[in-house]
Amino acid sequence: MGDSDATSGRSDIEELIRRHAAERPRDTWLLWKDEAYSWSDVLDAARKVANGLVERGVRPGQRVALMMPNGPEFLWSHFGVVFAGALSVPLNISQRGTTLEYILADSGAVATIFADDLRDVVTRAAGACPDLRELITVGGVRDAEVRHTFDDLMASPAADLDLGNDAAGGGVGLMYTSGTTGPPKGVVTKAYDLRSLEALIAEAGIRPGETMYTPLPLYHGNALVVSALGSMVAGGRLALGAKFSASRFWDDIRRYDAVEFNALGGIIPILLKQPLRPDDSDNPVRVVLSAGAPSDERWDEFQDRFGVRLVEWFGMVDSPGTLLNASGRPGSMGQPVGGVDFRIVDDHDQELPPGQVGELLFKHPAGQLSHYHNNEQATQDAYRGGWFHSGDLASMDADGWFYFRGRKKQSMRRRGENISAWEIESVVIQHPAVRECAAYGVPSEMGEEEVVVAVVPVEGAQLRPQDVVTFCEGSLAHYAVPRYVTVVAELPKTGTQKIQYEALKQTWSPADAWDREAHAEEARS
């Protein structure tokens, strides 16, 4: 199955919803708080929103921005856009000002559906976006600027649309990257990589009627594709959390009887550092689909403590391509699935032998399946030589297993040596008093960069910066031992718990940090 069915012109999502609604109309698909929604409810909501959007001038192929937190309204809006043949543009609810204006203008969105507590944010940005004709609030009222409400959309008939000969443009939609090295880039993908998604779901062993749980934000690809679309592929249920909460996480899992959840970023270390409970392993989860699980002893510790199996995988919003580690090999992203080729190259795109670190490239058997909207140069750079350049550093062993080694743009250069953030973080996080950490480079008076590590202490723990440096000595190359240590209450993150390194760099001040070299100089004097 591709992005749309050749005979119906419908997207994968629409086909799945219609099939499940026909075969099991009263079966539950969505669990949200104390509410349950059947496949029939899903189909009706999608058709209502689609009709409401068409009544307000949205046409096939046009774009509708969604800016709201997790909830049924997000899903009904996304599905409604798809059923209307339009393109959904999910937006991070943290976006503001210039960046939000840029995304709305760059996408050419003609309408936006947004949470009412973001009204001022959206209306200010809308003034700089001439294509944006309709503002639709969720949970608010109409006014001179916001002429429609989500309730207006839901008051439309739950009838099928006749789009005529217009090809459906919905489905994959338009998703913007975080833009850590420049303006956000809008990723346009021709088709879902359903072969790889089906491989993930099959490895997770989700059976029809079973529940997948996610508290990750739907405006990112992991929750929207792997959890929402994945549960549809499996014929299962989706239990949706409002947001990630370490203290409530396992209680929600038990409440929804979820057999699977996805883990990203620091979720596994954070859950491990929660206080031990006698019922930690008394939960229904069988498999955790993880991207970025710890590569050390915490892999087995997590499995043993919570009675689950970790399945590690790698994928990107920017281009279809998946690695899958279903063999429980700690630290490995896995091996290629779905016929996609992967390789490791140097800075000149020359393939490297096993064991050497370089950039991870991949090529889909169907060719180039994505591009960056309105950014032909970025697309050409990413796909140069016919291979997608991920920007990730990785290595491959002699058996063809791939290992993540950090991001190229998160790497540092100090005293002539390249250092990855991953290299430092993988050591610092093992300190028993460190809950989370992030390593990054700042300009050095000697040229190149100095290494900073920001650490979040375990609650109640006493953590001295010099203890962090001592802990690193002997476990890191001397040039990689951080010069600066900052102790912070929290790290800036995206909705999917990925650390925002650029935000750390922008707020960096040596006055807030412990300086190893300065203290060494004091000790000598």
Q: Please give the chain's pLDDT, 525 residues, in tens.
A: 344 443 456 888 999 999 999 999 999 999 999 999 999 999 999 999 999 999 999 999 999 999 999 999 999 999 999 999 999 999 988 888 788 899 999 999 999 999 999 999 999 999 999 999 999 999 999 999 999 999 999 999 999 988 766 555 566 789 988 554 457 889 998 778 888 899 999 999 999 999 999 999 999 889 999 999 999 999 999 999 999 999 999 999 999 999 999 998 678 988 998 999 999 999 999 999 999 888 788 899 999 999 999 999 999 989 999 999 999 888 899 999 989 999 999 999 999 999 999 999 999 999 999 999 999 999 999 999 999 999 999 999 999 999 998 878 777 888 777 788 888 998 899 899 999 999 999 988 767 889 999 999 998 999 999 999 999 997 887 888 999 999 999 999 877 677 888 899 999 999 999 999 988 776 666
Q: How many residues comprise the chain?
A: 525
What's the confidence (pLDDT) of residue 426?
83
Q: Where in the chain is the domain with CATH 3.40.50.12780?
A: 194-407
Q: What CATH number labels 12-184?
A: 3.40.50.980
Q: What is the pLDDT of residue 166?
A: 58
Q: How many CB atoms lie within 10 A of CB 512?
A: 12
In CATH, which of 3.30.450.20, 3.40.50.2020, 3.40.50.12780, 1.10.8.60 is domain 194-407?
Answer: 3.40.50.12780
Judging by beta carbons within 10 Å of its beta carbon (0-12, 13-18, 19+), is residue 483 exposed, middle or buried?
Answer: buried
DSSP state of 279: T
Please name every residue paired with 38 in a beta bridge, in sequence order, or none if there are none.
28
Q: What's the CA gap between 441 and 452, in Å, rounded? A: 6
Asked if 39 and 24 count as a contact pair (C-beta separation under 8 A), the reply is: yes
CATH 3.30.300.30 domain position(s) in the chain: 415-524
For position 98, what pLDDT does the model report?
Answer: 81
| 3-state class (DSSP) for residue 71 | coil
* CA-to-CA dists, residue 193 to 29, 138, 219, 322, 511, angstroms: 22, 31, 19, 9, 48
Per DSSP, 292 falls in state: S
d(CA 516, CA 350): 38
Classify domain 415-524 at the CATH class level. alpha beta
Residue 189: CB atoms within 10 A of its CB come to 21
| Ranges for all domains in the chain classified under CATH 3.40.50.980 | 12-184
Residue 224 bridge partners (DSSP):
none
Burial 438-461 (b: 16+ CB within 10 A, else e): bbbbbeeeeeebbbbbbbbbeeee
Supply the pLDDT for residue 5: 43
pLDDT at position 108, please? 95
48 CB contacts (<8 Å, ≥6 apart)?
76, 80, 153, 154, 155, 156, 157, 158
Q: Given this model, what pLDDT does residue 479 score?
A: 83
**Per the structure block, which two tokens stand in for 182?**
């420049």
State residue 497's pLDDT score.
75
